[in-house]
Amino acid sequence: MNIEASVDDLLRTNGYASSTHNHLVMKAAVLLGTTLVCAGISASGFAVLLFLLLTRSLAPPNAYFEKELFFDYTKPAAVASTNFCKSPAPMKASAANARFLQPGQSMSVWLALVTPETHGTSNADVFQVAAELVTADGRVAASASRPCLVTYRSPVVRYIRMLARLPLVLVGWYEEKQLLKVPLFKGYKEKAGEPFCVFRVALMARANGGELPGIYSAYVHIDLKLGLVGRALYKIRPGTVATYVLGIVGLAAFCGGGLASLLLLAMWSISRRHVDTRVVDKSRQYDEVSSETGWSEVSTGELESESDRDRDGAMLDPGASVSERGMLSPGESPLVTPLSAQALRRWDARSASQLSVSTDGTPLDEVYSRSNHKKYR
């Protein structure tokens, strides 16, 4: 006898519907996905906090400093000085340690002087610039002296330039002046024992009757050498307000996302444990029921008698009940043994239409037509 029945009927007969199992699996998948999203938010917050930490600790607040100088012409040499420390007059106890740069920081110092145009007959065309880097307590950390020459321009060139800019000259937006850039210190490194705090410069006339030049304005510039990484961090370093905003947002994302991901991960673990427990319980219950009923997997069916085929047709009748399909005659040996848990899970995931085939691989519709043809022939 060849017994053929759909797997869904077999599962439904023994009370093993897969809807609850699928619901638990879907719930576990949703919890896992939400956990990953919260973990991503927490990681983003941590990245923002790490970005702020790197930019605020490795990059200086400023990579460029500029101070205006005012020269004193009451002395033989025009002298000017400026303080780069935060406190213009540090206390004596802390004067030796006052600094505004980190030890080992490399920098370049240059002087910008705005002078009037020369006529070529003045004795102030050439002069000397002497500069010193002084600590807060008066010690000289470095000194430099550079000659400076005012560029000579012939009267013809000056008149042509004046005519080209005549409208600007009439409204006072153009003046006859030159910008002199005097490099003083290049590649100077801040010393740990002698921290630079005060810049002092003097303009000295040349010997043999030289004169001091007139100065419209003067500025000292300090450019820090940050390197490739330091310069990049300085370029992307956010301002004070942006730092506070990003810090609050990053901290909230890191803490909130981390706590939410941990909570959802715990819920997913519990749900996953329930899914595994249900699969084991369902397999155990099915083995118990199958051992009591004596069912086994459908064999290849070598019986080819007409009566057995007629019975097969009756079992394949859509109107026949599940009990009529699975009932055996008295004295017949059972042809079904307990289904394994692996087969149960595999069948539970497929549709009945895909699994409705006979034991020898022939579709049930074809077997049903063949049995009816032989029956009424």
Co-location of 275 and 358 in the same domain: yes
Co-location of 78 and 204 in the same domain: yes
Question: What is the pLDDT, as a whole number, of residue 168?
Answer: 84
Whole-number Cα distances in Å, 202 to 117, 145, 214, 216, 274: 21, 9, 13, 15, 85
Question: What is the pLDDT, as a whole number, of residue 109?
Answer: 95
Co-location of 188 and 283 in the same domain: no
Domain assignment present for 232: no
Co-location of 275 and 347 in the same domain: yes
Question: What pLDDT, in 10s, does the model give residues 303-341?
Answer: 344 445 444 454 444 444 444 444 444 444 444 344 444
Distance from first CA to last CA of the chain, Å, rounded? 20
Domain assignment present for 56: no
Domain boundary among 157, 190, 225: 225
Whole-number Cα distances in Å, 171 to 164, 167, 174, 198: 14, 7, 8, 39
Co-location of 302 and 219 in the same domain: no
Domain assignment present for 50: no
Residue 199: which CATH number? 2.60.120
Question: What is the pLDDT, as a whole number, of residue 211?
Answer: 84
Q: What length does the chain have?
A: 377
Question: What is the pLDDT, as a whole number, of residue 68?
Answer: 94
Let me know: does 108 contact 196? Beta carbons within 8 Å.
Answer: no
Residue stretches of the chain with pLDDT short of 70: 1-25, 28, 86-97, 118-122, 272-377
Co-location of 75 and 214 in the same domain: yes
Domain assignment present for 36: no
Co-location of 193 and 303 in the same domain: no
Q: Domain limits at 287?
A: 7-16+269-376
Domain assignment present for 301: yes
Domain boundary among 225, 257, 290: 225
Which of these, 102, 66, 72, lies nearest to 199 by C-alpha position? 66
Question: What is the pLDDT, as a whole number, of residue 261?
Answer: 81
Number of domains in the chain: 2
Co-location of 136 and 196 in the same domain: yes
- Burial classification of residue 131, based on how many CB atoms lie within 10 Å of its CB (0-12 exposed, 13-18 middle, 19 or more buried): buried
For residue 107, the cross-strand partners are 188, 224
Co-location of 115 and 221 in the same domain: yes
Question: What is the pLDDT, as a whole number, of residue 119?
Answer: 57
DSSP string, 138-165: S-EEEEEEEEEEPPP--HHHHHHHHHHT
Residue type, 249: V
Count the neighbouring beta carbons within 10 Å of the beta carbon of residue 195: 22
Q: What is the pTM of this model?
A: 0.55
Domain assignment present for 46: no
Co-location of 150 and 274 in the same domain: no
Domain assignment present for 240: no
Domain boundary among 225, 240, 260: 225
Co-location of 108 and 221 in the same domain: yes
Question: What is the pLDDT, as a whole number, of residue 338?
Answer: 42
Co-location of 214 and 286 in the same domain: no
Domain assignment present for 91: yes
